[in-house]
A and B are shown apart, each in its own frame.
Chain A
Amino acid sequence: MTETRHITVEALTRVEGEGGLSIRMNGDVIEDVQLSIYEPPRFFEAFLQGRPLEEVPDITARICGICPVAYQMTTVHALEMALGVQISPEIRRLRRLLYCGEWIESHALHMHLLHAPDFFGEHSGIDLAARFPDEVNRGLRLKKHGNELLEVLGGRAIHPVNVAVGGFYRAPRRAELQKLIPDFEWGLQAAIDSTRWVAGFDFPDFERDYEMVALSHPDEYPMSEGRIVSRGGLNIAVDDYENHFAEQHVRHSTALQSGMLEHKSDKTGTCYHVGPLARVNLNFGRLSPSARQVAEEINFSVPCLNPFKAIIARGLEVIHAYEESLEIIRSYQPFKPPRIAFDHRDGEGVSATEAPRGIIFHRYSVDAAGKIVTAKIVPPTSQNQRQIEEDLRDFLPSVLSDDDKTTAMGCERLIRSYDPCISCSTHFLTVTVERT
C-alpha cells in the first residue's frame, strides 16, 4: 500500500526557497529522505565567463541580497591569488570588519525573527514580536547596526560596491567609523543579552555525531582565511579543497550536493556540517573574550552536537563580531593605498571564507587579458543539503506519528536551524510520505 501525505505549511516562509521534502517509508522504516532545493549560483558561474575580472565582485554580490559580502570576499581573495596580489594588513582588517557587519546583520535577523519563533510554537516573527516586543526590537536594532557598518564600508546599503580586487575603491574616513562606536558598545551588551535569552530556550533532545567542517586560523576566529579543518581530523589548505570535497547532481534537486570524499576513488563522499555550530566547535578558543565568558556562563561547551543549538552559536558569533568590530574601529586610521595595483596575467586562484551560514568556496581561472575563463562557486547550503537529509532521517521517527502539521513543523524546525539559503522563495513545504 502506498499512502501519500501532502502537508502544506506556510511557516516555511522563514526558510527561503522552494523546499520540497520527500520521505519514502517501508513499514515503519524510513527508506529515503530527499530535500529538493533551487540554487542560483550555478547560473552565475556561466554568466561570469568572459567577463572582465574587475566586474566579478560586483556580480557575485548580486547572488544574494542578504550575504553579498561573503560572495564578494571569496571572489576577491580567489582572484588576488590568481593575480599574485598581496593585500596589506590594513586592507585585511577592513575586510574582516566588513565581514563582521554581515555576520551581525544576518545572524541577528535569523536568531530573533526566523529561528526563535520555533521555540515558542509561534507561526512567525510577527507573532513572536507580539509576545516578546523588547527582544525582537533589540534584534532588529542589532541587525540595523550590521547594515550600517556595511553601508559605511560597502559604499551603500544595497549590495556593496566599494569592494575591489586588490582592496577597496575608497578607505573610509576615521570619523565615519568612529561615529558607530556608541551604537556598537550598546550592541555588544545587547548581543550578550540576546545570547543569554536564546540559551534559555527549550531545545529538542537531538544530537548527531557530526563531521563538522570549518576554516581555522591560528591567530583569529575564522572569517576570510585559514585552513579547512574538521572534527574528524581533516586539516588541509584551501587549494586542496577539491581533492577532499566533491559536488554531484542529484535527481531530486537543482542544487548540487557536496560530499566529503573518504579516499581518492570516492566520487560521492559523505555528508558534513558547515555553519556557525561547526565554526564554534572547531574554533571555540579563538572566540572573543566576551563570547567565551558568556558561553561559560550559559554552560555552552564544545563539542555541541545539537543542531537546534546553532542559534546559540550564532549569538556567540554576534558577540564576537561586535567585540572585534569595536577593536578594529577604535584603532582604525585611514591608509594608502586602499587598493593594491595589479597586472593581468594567466592564473588560477581559489578561496574559502566563512559566510554566515558556512564555508563558501570559489575557484576562478583568468586569462592574460583579464577575463574570466572558468568560475566555480560552492555555497554553504549545497554543502549542508545532504547533512540536512541525514538529520531528517534520524529525526523523523520522533515526529512521524504526529499529525501532518506537527510532522512538517518538526521537519521545518530542523531545516531552519541550518539557516539555509535556497533562494527563490515559496510559502509551503510539501512533505510527501510514501508508505509501502
Chain B
Amino acid sequence: MNSTASKTLLVAIGSPHGDDRVAWDVADLLASRLPGTVSTKKASVPVNMIDWIDGVKQLHIIDACDGGGQSGSLLRCEWQPDSSNGWPGLERGTSETPEASTQACRPPRHPSQAQSHPGHPFNLRGAGSHDFDVVSVLELARTLNRLPERIIIWGIVGKNFEPSDELSSELQSQMSAIANVIREEVTDAREISGAVAADSG
C-alpha cells in the first residue's frame, strides 16, 4: 500500500468472510493499475479511514453490501454534506452495471443499520461496540473539519457473508468490470494507460 500523501485515497473496507472481502480484492486488482497520485488502503473497520484522510481531497470508499440489486451489481453514491438538516445526505448515483439496482441496500449481517440512518440509499457496514459505521465516520470527520472535499461511496452487492463462505461466482465474474468502472472514476482520464491526449497529433 502506498502513502496517503497523495490527493486521492481509495479505502476498501471488508472482512475475510465470503463476499464481504470483495472490496479488498478489488483494491488488490486496482493497486498496480492506479497512478502514484492515488493511494489505496484496506480496512476491516470503517473508523480506520480517519487515520488516513488528512490531506486527501478525494476519497473513494468501496464496501460490500447486500440487497439493492443482483449479486455483482455496483452502486455508487456521492456524499453531499447538507448542514441544513443536520444529517448529510447521500445522493443516489447512477447504476454502473447493467444489472445494478438503485434500491436501498442493507449491510451484510447488520440488518438494523437502516434504522440508524434513515433515508440513506446506502447502508453499508454496521456499527459495533468498538466501531463506527461508514456514515458515522464521515460525520465524525466532518465534525472535526477533516472531511475530504469529495467523497464517493461504492457498494458492491454480494450474497454470501458467512465466515466459511468463499467469494461468490457472480462477484468473481464481475470483479474485473467493477475494478475498471472504479478505476476510470478514481483516475484522472489523462493518466489511464493508453489514453490519447486531446492535444496530441
Contact = CB atoms under 8 A, between A and B. Distances in A.
Contacts of A17: 128-129
Interface string A134-152: 0011001001100100000
Interface string A147-159: 1000000001111
Contacts of B144: 129, 133, 136-137, 140
Nearest to B130: A66
A16 B130 CA distance: 7
A15 B130 CA distance: 7
| B1, B48, B129, most chain A CB atoms within 10 A | B129
Contact of A157 (B41, B50, B110, B164): B41
A10 B43 CA distance: 25
Contact of B129 (A140, A143, A421): A421
Given A62-B16, A65-B44, A426 B112 contact: yes
B122 interface: no
B56 to A, nearest CB: 14
A383 interface: no
A157 B139 contact: no
B131 A16 contact: yes
Nearest to B115: A427
Contact of B112 (A113, A137, A428): A428
Interface in A48-107: 62, 65-67, 106
A114 B14 CA distance: 22
Contacts of A426: 110, 112
Contacts of B131: 16, 65-66, 109, 425
A147 B1 CA distance: 14
Interface in B143-164: 143-145, 163-164
Nearest to A66: B130
B30 to A, nearest CB: 16
A420 B112 CA distance: 19
B17 interface: yes
B43 A158 contact: yes
Contact of B116 (A43, A144, A427): A427
B45 interface: yes
Contacts of B17: 62
Given A133-B143, A143-B51, A159-B16, A428 B115 contact: yes
Contacts of A420: 129
Interface residues of A, number: 46
A400 B152 CA distance: 45
Contact of A424 (B45, B50, B109, B145): B109
A13 interface: yes
Contacts of B109: 424
Interface in A300-319: none
Given A62-B17, A147-B48, A129 B116 contact: no
A276 interface: no
A419 interface: yes
A16 B127 contact: yes
A290 interface: no
- Which 4 A-B pairs give the minimum distances between C-beta atoms? A16-B129, A16-B128, A65-B44, A66-B130
7 contacts: A13-B133, A13-B136, A16-B131, A65-B131, A133-B144, A157-B41, A425-B126
Interface of B: 1, 14-17, 24, 41-45, 47-48, 50-51, 109-110, 112-113, 115-116, 126-133, 136, 139-140, 143-145, 163-164
Given A44-B163, A62-B16, 15 more contacts: A13-B132, A62-B15, A65-B131, A113-B132, A113-B140, A126-B136, A126-B139, A133-B143, A136-B140, A137-B144, A143-B47, A144-B51, A158-B14, A424-B110, A426-B112
